[in-house]
Each structure stands twice: as C-alpha cells, then as structure tokens.
Amino acid sequence: MENLLHDISWVVPLRTPFLTPIFQGFTWLGYLPFFMIFLSLGYWLWDKEKITRLAVLIILSAVVNSFLKDYWQDARPSIDLRLDGGVGESYGLPSGHAQVAAVMWFWLAWEIKKTWAWITATVLVSGVAFSRIYLGVHDVEDVVVGLAIGFASLFIFSWLVSDRFRTWHNLNPVLQVAIILAFLPAFIYLWPNNESATPGISLGLFLAGWWAGANLDRRSIGFQRHPQWWRAALAAVLGIAGLFMLFSGVGKAADAVGLGAYASYITTLFLALYMTLVAPFAFRLVRIGK
C-alpha cells in the first residue's frame, strides 16, 4: 500500500509524445493564468453572481490547500520524474490542482444543473488529477487527499451559502469586507511551522477585493454583458489584455516606490478590483458593456 501511494515510477512507461501535451493542457487548468482568464470572462460574459460564488469557493479552497501543504510538509516525487517545472519548492500534500479542480468544476456543474455539465466536470477533474501524477509532480496520496478535501469542501460551502447563514449574507458589504481584512493578520500567527503566511494573506486580499468590487458593481455600476456579441467579445479581449498588463505592471510599480516586499499583496488586491469593478466600469464607459 505504501508503494502504491508514493511510488509513481509506473507512470514513466505511459508517457508518449501524444499524451504528454494533452496532460500538460489539463494541468494548465490549475495554474493562475487560467483562473485569471476564466473568472474574468465568467464575470464579464456569463453570470456575475454564480462566478462570485465560484471565486469565493476557489479562494477558500486555495487557502486551505496552502495551509495544509505547509502543515504536512510532504515532499513531492523525485525531481527526475517531473515534467512540470511550475511547482518550484512547494510541498506536495495535498494536490492543489486536484483539490481546486474538484471544487471548481463540480460546483459549476451544480450551479448549471445539466447532465452535460456533470459529464464535463467529471472529465476535467479526472484529467487534471491524473495529469499531476503523469507529469511526476504528485504521488497518488497527494491527489487522492486533494480530491477528498475538495469534495468535502463542496458540501461545507453549500452549507455556508444556504439560508442558515442568512445573517452573514445580509450584513452590510462594507462590514463583510472589514471582517475579511480583520482576519488576515491571524494568518501570521496561525500559519504552521513558521512558514510564510504570504499565500494566505494574498488570497485573503484577493477575496476582500473581489467581494468589495462585486458589491460596488452591484450597487453602483450594474454592469451587464453587451447584447451585441461582437462588442462583448471586444470587451473580453481588451479586458484580458488589461488584466495581464496589470498583473505584470503592479509588481514593477511596487518595486519602484519601495513596496516590493508587498508586491504580491498589492497585485492580488488590484487584480480582484480590476476584474469586478474597474474593467466593468470601463466597458460601460466606452459602450462595450451595458
């Protein structure tokens, strides 16, 4: 059983020039650029409320994953087996790709409530999960635990968004954002094994920025996708271009003014506000949004 959970040498003979790009594609669905694009397009072109719930779920799941990685400090498979150089020096247990894929795609399927959505979710979650083993960056234990935490998170989140928590849902949004921000310093003291709490704080700031931006949009802007699809598509293209310009530029600007140590915090906060407030306002201003 120990070998089954931790020895992935069996995956090497399965690798082929045909399969490797496929699983690299699956694994890209678990990296930051994909989430930036997907959440932005979902907010601008599809359903703001559904995407906001999804964003909150993804962020909370990512915080839990980062915390558990630093708590367990479980090493990844040997570097000689790896075909994915994006993991850096991070720990392996639980697999963040598997965990977040489970919460993301199955929550979307639950929101959409169509058979095709459940089938799509199953294919994508299976592909992303196995890609981590195929590419040699996680063992079976990492992936199985990641999936288990992901599925448990789905049930917990469905409980949190239910009417049982109506009091929180009805709080003034300013107070909600203040509560999120007030909780962030606790990460410095609660983060395990004296590891840096930067991931938790950054994700928390993204959550605060998204929640603030989405509520300001709802109350003051009321952005909607333009009914003419060519204008909506133009907004999406320009918005994504602006998103990545912001992503690369905020850190440089922070360095230039001596705030380089806080670059990741500033970047995540600005990205969330851009996706939910700045871009929608700009779309309306130039009449490619409604």
HEC per residue, 179-234: HHHHHCHHHHHHCHHHCCCHHHHHHHHHHHHHHHHHHHHHHHHCCCECCCHHHHHH
- Evaluate if residue 49 carries a pLDDT over 60: yes
The reply to whether 274 and 285 lie within a common domain is yes
The reply to whether 139 and 22 lie within a common domain is yes
**Predicted local distance difference test score (pLDDT) of residue 2:** 57
Domains in the chain: how many in total? Answer: 2
Residue type at 276 in one-letter notation = T
- Which of 110, 135, 170 is at the close of a domain? 170
The reply to whether 165 and 180 lie within a common domain is no
**Predicted local distance difference test score (pLDDT) of residue 254:** 81
- Evaluate if residue 279 carries a pLDDT over 70: yes
The reply to whether 31 and 114 lie within a common domain is yes
Copy the structure tokens of residue 231.
């204008």
Lowest mean pLDDT among 45-59, 62-76, 166-180, 264-278: 166-180
Residues in the chain, overall count: 290
- Evaluate if residue 92 carries a pLDDT over 90: yes
The reply to whether 105 and 234 lie within a common domain is no
pLDDT tens by residue, 221-255 = 999 999 999 999 999 999 999 999 998 888 888 87
The reply to whether 20 and 157 lie within a common domain is yes
Find where tokens 């969330």 sit.
272
Burial class (CB in 10 A: 0-12, 13-18, 19+), 104: buried
Residue 81 to residue 130: CA distance in whole angstroms: 15
**Residue among 81, 72, 97, 80 at smallest CA distance from 193:** 72
The reply to whether 122 and 136 lie within a common domain is yes
pLDDT tens by residue, 118-135 = 999 999 999 999 999 999
SS3 content of the chain, % helix, strand, coil (to 5): 80, 0, 20
The reply to whether 152 and 180 lie within a common domain is no
**Predicted local distance difference test score (pLDDT) of residue 270:** 94
Residue type at 71 in one-letter notation = Y
Question: Can you give the pTM of this predicted structure?
Answer: 0.93
Q: What is the mean pLDDT of the chain?
A: 93
The reply to whether 146 and 22 lie within a common domain is yes
What is the band of 43 on the pLDDT scale with cuts at 50, 70, 90? very high
The reply to whether 155 and 220 lie within a common domain is no
The reply to whether 274 and 149 lie within a common domain is no
Q: What residue numbers bound the domain in which 244 lies?
A: 172-290
* Cβ atoms of 210 and 275 closer than 8 Å: yes
Hey, is 148 helix, strand or coil?
Answer: helix
Work out the percent of the chain whose per-residue pLDDT is above 70. 99
CA dihedral 106, 108, 113, 115 (to 10 degrees): -60
**Residue among 48, 37, 96 at smallest CA distance from 70:** 96
Residue type at 108 in one-letter notation = L
